[in-house]
Amino acid sequence: MIARLDYLKSLGVDAIWLSPFYKSPNKDGGYDVADPRDVDPKFGNLLDAKCLIEEAHRRELRVIFDIVPNHFSTEHLWFKEALASPKGSVARSRFHFYDGRGESGEIPPNNWNSIFGGPAWTRLTEVDGSKGQWYLHLFDSTQADLNWDNLDVRDDFEKTLRFWLDLGVDGFRIDVAHGLAKETILQDHPDPEGLTRALRLDVSDMRQEDRERLLSDVPFFDREGVHEIYRSWRKIFDSYSGGRISVAEAWVHPSSRAARYVRSDELHQIFNFDFLIAPWDAEFLVAAIKRTLSEVGSVDAPPTWVLSNHDSPRLVTRLGGGDLGERKARAFALLTHALPGGIYIFQGEELALVDGALPDSARQDPVFFRTNGKDKGRDGARIPLPWESAVNFGFSTGTPWLPIPKDWEDKTVAQQSINESSSLALYKKSLEIRSLHPALKKSSNYNIEWINAPKGVIGIKRAPGFLLIANTNVEEISVEIGEGAELLLASNSEVVVKVGRAVVAGHTTCWLNLPK
């Protein structure tokens, strides 16, 4: 990773977020943490982590670690201790252990499902071999949910935050930030199957109002109790110099509840996942942008934009794949890169990678296993980055955790670096302009001005002197842009600027400089 920092610098990002690298049996890509204050030997050691931070800082890159407070791996010492301790013990109270229902406790304490499929409870075999209590796991059965009413849990996480802050990390991405406080654990949910479907990203099989209704009251997500935790964490972040930050992974409904996580005494940012599920459609996107700006704007927090991440299909794939998918993805990226606030780019998004085909035998994602293969899971989007034409595309001389498709030869960083019209070249240009243009560069000015645009077209002005036109239609459009506007960047070469007008091809975004 240290050897690739120069690449990230040249890409033009300001910071890197690393997914969890802590000691872990890796049942869920490291989100099953067995020791949150140590590095898994697969990746290196603590000195390497420190060195990574220092080398990043030397290049003026900031570093964000991923903290996982909702659950611990069942390999964590605490869980082992809980197993060896009797029911009702302090060791068990750090997790959610309950007796089962039914004559011999054979029915789980409630009817919740795991987000990854199957029940959210697993029954223990006690040390004497008898069937025992059940423990809660909203995700895989190897990820036991922590009980945030327990003071050991709170203290331990504060210790973890300080541990990495002392090492020099610039901030944290907080996994399942909306999940820490649970309510009504001993009550059944009226519609557990509906809730499970509603919580999935692929929502095509459900009416939007049913989904919103189910998601607006989830007994284990977005409960009031989480905010007090973040207020105490904020005090810790603020006690360190250098502007340490936090970003919440919190899926909340209605979306206006996002603002509650980024009040001035809580977290700094919350991922806005609207674009992650958005179609390439002007009307939808304009509404999403307006809603986001006004919601987090209400508490003066910066908006964020996410086109892809490790939990969702890659952008090009989601937009239909092939040349058309890539064309739309490029246009979508230019729209996103012109918006105020923070943009999060998933590794390989800049290369326009697609989900890789994988044999089932190669799959790792617990979602695949817990749904008996019905849901293929997220592995397709998690294939390592192809760097160059070499063994394993230069990613590793060892065996990568997922095989890299052979036909990614023309997608490598090396190939795209020498191709002016590559996706990588487009990302580099847009990020450079974003960092230099007076209307786009870092500022607390989150204002944008909407200009009248034909159907299917988005027109945004940002002061001083920046105009964006995004055409989500198939057909080209011609828009009046005033005298003296100049083309800065376009998502493909089919944009023509004439005196006073821009002719923008279908599925294309362009950036223009307006005269003073």
Q: Which of 448, 427, 455 is nearest to 284 (CA)?
A: 455
- Candidate segments 25-33, 92-100, 240-248, 411-419, binder of ligand NOJ by CB under 6 A: 25-33
What span, in angstroms and rounded, lies between the C-alpha atoms of 161 and 69? 11
Least CB distance to ligand NOJ at residue 73 (A): 10
- Interface with ligand NOJ includes 28 (CB under 6 A)? yes
Of 31 and 305, which CB lies nearer to ligand NOJ in the complex structure?
31
How many Å is the maximal CA-CA distance in the chain?
Answer: 84
The residue type of 147 is: N
Of 344 and 393, which CB lies nearer to ligand NOJ in the complex structure?
344
Q: What angle do CA 240, 160, 182 make, to 5 degrees?
A: 110
User: 171 pairs with which residues across the strands?
Assistant: 64, 245
What span, in angstroms and rounded, lies between the C-alpha atoms of 4 and 129? 50
Least CB distance to ligand NOJ at residue 508 (A): 32
Nearest residue to ligand NOJ, scored by beta-carbon proximity:
31
Contact 511, 433 (CB under 8 A): yes
- Interface with ligand NOJ includes 306 (CB under 6 A)? no
Least CB distance to ligand NOJ at residue 353 (A): 18
Of 26 and 150, which CB lies nearer to ligand NOJ in the complex structure?
26
Of 179 and 340, which CB lies nearer to ligand NOJ in the complex structure?
179
- Candidate segments 23-31, 95-103, 164-172, 314-322, binder of ligand NOJ by CB under 6 A: 23-31
Least CB distance to ligand NOJ at residue 453 (A): 35
- Interface with ligand NOJ includes 338 (CB under 6 A)? no
- Candidate segments 24-32, 120-128, 465-473, 505-513, binder of ligand NOJ by CB under 6 A: 24-32
Q: Kindly write out the interface string for residues 428-447 of this chain, putting x where it contacts ligand NOJ by CB under 6 A and - elsewhere.
A: --------------------
Q: Which of 372, 376, 370 is nearest to 122 (CA)?
A: 370
Of 8 and 68, which CB lies nearer to ligand NOJ in the complex structure?
68
Least CB distance to ligand NOJ at residue 316 (A): 20
Contact 491, 422 (CB under 8 A): no
What span, in angstroms and rounded, lies between the C-alpha atoms of 107 and 99? 9
- Interface with ligand NOJ includes 222 (CB under 6 A)? no
- What are the respective helix, strand and coil percentages of the chain, to the nearest 5? 35, 20, 50
What span, in angstroms and rounded, lies between the C-alpha atoms of 468 and 335? 8
Buried b (16+ CB within 10 A) or exposed e, 232-243: ebbeebeebeee
- Interface with ligand NOJ includes 310 (CB under 6 A)? yes
- Interface with ligand NOJ includes 311 (CB under 6 A)? yes
Least CB distance to ligand NOJ at residue 18 (A): 12
Helix (H, G, I), strand (E, B) or coil at 480: strand
How many residues sit close enough to ligand NOJ to count as binding (CB under 6 A)?
A: 10
Least CB distance to ligand NOJ at residue 367 (A): 8
Q: Which of 286, 288, 290, 309 is nearest to 355 (CA)?
A: 309
- Candidate segments 27-35, 200-208, 432-440, 444-452, binder of ligand NOJ by CB under 6 A: 27-35
Q: Which of 21, 22, 31, 172 binds ligand NOJ (CB under 6 A)?
A: 31
Least CB distance to ligand NOJ at residue 469 (A): 34
- Interface with ligand NOJ includes 65 (CB under 6 A)? no
Least CB distance to ligand NOJ at residue 342 (A): 17
Q: Which of residues 173-192 bind ligand NOJ (CB under 6 A)?
A: 175-176
Q: How would you classify the pairing of strands 342-344 and 304-306?
A: parallel
HEC string for 99-152 = CCECCCCCECCCCCECCCCCECEEEEECCCCCEEEEEECCCCCCEEEECCCCHH
Q: Which of residues 117-176 bind ligand NOJ (CB under 6 A)?
A: 139, 175-176
Of 145 and 156, which CB lies nearer to ligand NOJ in the complex structure?
145
Least CB distance to ligand NOJ at residue 251 (A): 9
**Residue 23: alpha-carbon gap to chain centroid:** 21
Q: Which of 456, 494, 434, 116 is nearest to 305 (CA)?
A: 434
Least CB distance to ligand NOJ at residue 68 (A): 6
Read off φ and ψ for residue 362, nearest 5 degrees. Answer: -90, -10
Query: Which residues contact ligand NOJ by CB under 6 A?
Result: 28-29, 31, 68, 139, 175-176, 249, 310-311
